[in-house]
Amino acid sequence: MTDIITPSRATAKLIDGKAAAAAVDAAAAAGARQLEPRLGRAPCLAVVLVGEDPASQVYVRNKVRRTEAAGMRSVEHILPADISQAELLTVVRALNEDEGVDGILVQLPLPKGLDETEVVQTIRPDKDVDGLTAQSAGALVLGAPGMRPCTPSGSVFLAKQALGDLTGKSVVVIGRSILVGKPAALLFLAENCTVTLAHSRTQDLPAVCREADIIVAAVGRPNMVKGDWLKPGACVIDVGINRVEGENGKSRLVGDVDFEQAIETAGFVTPVPGGVGPMTIAMLLANTVAAAARRASLAVPGPVADVLPG
């Protein structure tokens, strides 16, 4: 925790997502080393990228780099934006049948004209390392073993680094998307927190937030959560990544939380960038190692089991 939590210039301590991600990457690498002799190969992550979206290309490059750095095999399918739905599904089904592939991730968003839901639901649940299939979502609701979504998992990990045991903590999750908000609420509930899932129609949202020990902001609205929305000493997990125009005419990234105000009131804050973002790939790598173990009917290696949410 010492390397992950750092003092800031104001009240709040910063939760260093890069340091936390490096720790999870190391756990994934250790787990991969333990599995490789038993599998007869390294765990493998396959990534499918459709089109030429610059942000997606950068993200995929980072996934490939970190997968290989963790001692795992990386497979990439770079497909044209005008690929048909049928052709894309054929690629996903081929990866489903490839026993040398443990995890499949289709980079979202897909170009217009492609059905994201059908593509994601075509992924075999035991290879669904992004935790987005209906079976994975059902397992999360039931508290059954399965893949958990990466960004919400990373959010829980960072909160635990800041606060330790989360039992009894009051959590407000702002945003009810199926990608972050809903699974984050369930994951914090699994940590024995008392969870409120808030959204755009929540009455007196600032008052609701002031009761929370932990705020998870995942709405996609820059600087929405103000400092006076926060309980003094609260832990703020800012999932938002928004590009806004700076004073010098250059764009910059900001979160859903007004950082400059938050650091005056909160106890712990994730910066943007450098907070939750790096954790998404880290949890993806940990999920891939876990998937490789489960597919071979082996126990998930200890280093990985220790970083994944229960």
Q: What is the pLDDT of residues 154-192, one digit of tens each?
A: 999 999 999 999 999 999 999 999 999 999 999 999 999
The residue-averaged pLDDT of 233-260 equals 91
Indicate if the pLDDT at residue 144 is higher than 70. Answer: yes
Q: What percent of the chain has pLDDT over 70?
A: 98
Indicate if the pLDDT at residue 10 is higher than 70. Answer: no
Looking at residue 9, its pLDDT comes to 56
Indicate if the pLDDT at residue 7 is higher than 70. Answer: no
Task: Confirm whether 40-125 and 149-277 share one CATH topology.
Answer: yes
Identify the CATH number of the domain defined by range 149-277.
Answer: 3.40.50.720
Which residue is catalytic, options 130, 213, 238, 258? 130
Which residue is catalytic, options 34, 102, 107, 127? 107
Indicate if the pLDDT at residue 113 is higher than 70. Answer: yes
The residue-averaged pLDDT of 218-223 equals 95
* Rounded Cα distance, 24 and 29, in Å: 9
Indicate if the pLDDT at residue 31 is higher than 80. Answer: yes
Beta-sheet pairing, 73-79 with 103-106:
unpaired
Helix 17-39 and helix 150-163, axial crossing angle in degrees, nearest 10: 120
Are residues 4 and 257 in contact, defined by beta-carbon separation less than 8 angstroms?
A: no
Rounded to the nearest integer, the mean pLDDT of the chain is 95
Q: Return the domain boundaries, the chain.
A: 40-125, 149-277
pTM of the full predicted structure? 0.94
* Rounded Cα distance, 288 and 304, in Å: 10
Please state, as a whole number, how many other Cβ atoms lie within 10 Å of the Cβ of residue 80: 10
Looking at residue 151, its pLDDT comes to 97
* Rounded Cα distance, 73 and 42, in Å: 6
Looking at residue 1, its pLDDT comes to 47
Looking at residue 249, its pLDDT comes to 75
Which residue is catalytic, options 13, 25, 63, 161? 63
Looking at residue 310, its pLDDT comes to 75
107 in active site: yes
130 in active site: yes
Indicate if the pLDDT at residue 107 is higher than 70. Answer: yes
Q: Does domain 40-125 have CATH number 3.40.630.30?
A: no
